[in-house]
Amino acid sequence: MPNFPGVDFMDFDSLLTSEEKLARQTARQFVDDRVLPIIEKYNQEAKAPLQLVAEMAELGFFGANLEGYGCAGLSTAGYGLVMQELERGDSAVRSFASVQSSLVMYPIHAYGSDAQKEKWLPLMQQGKAIGCFGLTEPQFGSNAAGMLTRATKSGTSYVLNGEKMWITNGSISDVALVWAKCEEEDGAVRGFLIEKDTPGFKSWDIHGKLSLRASVTSGLAMTDCRIPAENMLPGVKGMKGPLSCLTQARQGIGWGVIGAAMACYDTALRYSKERKQFDNKPIASHQLTQEKLAWMITEITKGQFLALQVARLKDAGKVLPVHVSMLKMNNVWMARECARLAREILGANGIVDDYCVMRHMNNLETVFTYEGTHEMHKLIIGQHITGIPAF
């Protein structure tokens, strides 16, 4: 899909700054030139295109909305537009950048010691170090507070024991931010930075995935894993730490899936104008096809404005986690439905890798679940508007 024109039905661009549009164009060109020519092959072979990491770093994609340490200092919308374009390429590429930026760099930036920031943030911004985020466990996903991983103080060290699952970039990371309940603090959750090759720390890859195949997904295990006490994030205690990271990352997801939806819509629109049936007319002339296309562009447009308003609220210091829940819930659902409708418009061609639709459709099944399932975000909104928790 060279020279992607974007999808802008209602002059969305008029609400963006020149810096935000430049950030989007930089990412858009990168995706057109470097991601789209290779991603189907990597998806088929279930390999991550790690050669792109250095290029993404050079373009300033990692920690793009953070200040200092070489980071670009973009607005939330600017960062989101970068995520949009990366996911237009593939959810796996956007997931890599999201984890690096929002789930590892952000908490170090927000809650780390000066030494932790100075050690890791420049390296991660430059793509010279890769990070992962260890919260989910085999037995605890949505109920992350039920985690079994424990940290015990031992002299000038902490000893960690436990297991984490479904960890993006886990086996290729130089540092893992692992959340554990601290025995000496009445089980309060704390974040710990574990460097690769630390004794007692191991990782392994999860194989057989039919979604996010171009992403590394791993398990982590800590068995009497001893790390220096100074590797604990000093600036946050309790579930506020990991949940604030997820809120940060969900904004990128809310933008990112717009890119996947745009790719599916654009593919379906082009195809419907070229594919001819019945009296040699394009299927775009059929009422049911137009209904699908009209639904898609309407929902994409609504998703754009929702994402932008949440971004503006964040930069104004007014955003609430429930706002981000609505963004993530709505936009991922929207993108998932766009992929399904695009597959229908393409007919049998929708299932082959000549087109991007089925790849996006499969990827979005994972995005629909991770970082807060669709159902959990509904319940978060429900609790906010009724004052009654239903989970």
Determine the Cα–Cα distance for residues 264 and 326; give it in Å rounded to an integer: 22
Per-position DSSP letters for 248-275, written without gaps between them:
HHHHHHHHHHHHHHHHHHHHHHHHHHH-
For residue 291, how many other CB atoms are within 10 A of its CB? 11
Structure tokens at 382: 């429900």
Closest of 253, 218, 211, 205 to residue 94, by C-alpha: 253
- Other CB atoms within a 10 A radius of the CB of residue 7 amount to 20
Q: Which residues pair with 227 in a beta bridge?
A: 158
Active-site residue, from 274, 299, 371, 375? 371
Q: How far apart are CA 330 and CA 301, in angstroms?
A: 12
* 39: three-class secondary structure by DSSP: helix
The question of whether 371 is a catalytic residue gets the answer yes
Which amino acid would we find at residue 119?
K
Q: Is 225 helix (H, G, I), strand (E, B) or coil?
A: strand
* Pairwise CA distance, residues 44 & 40, whole Å: 6
Nearest to 59 by CA among 90, 87, 28: 28
Number of alpha helices (DSSP H) and beta strands (DSSP E) in the chain: 12, 9
> Most distant CA pair in the chain: distance in Å?
82
CA distances for 291 relative to 269, 276, 282, angstroms: 12, 17, 15
Active site residues: 371
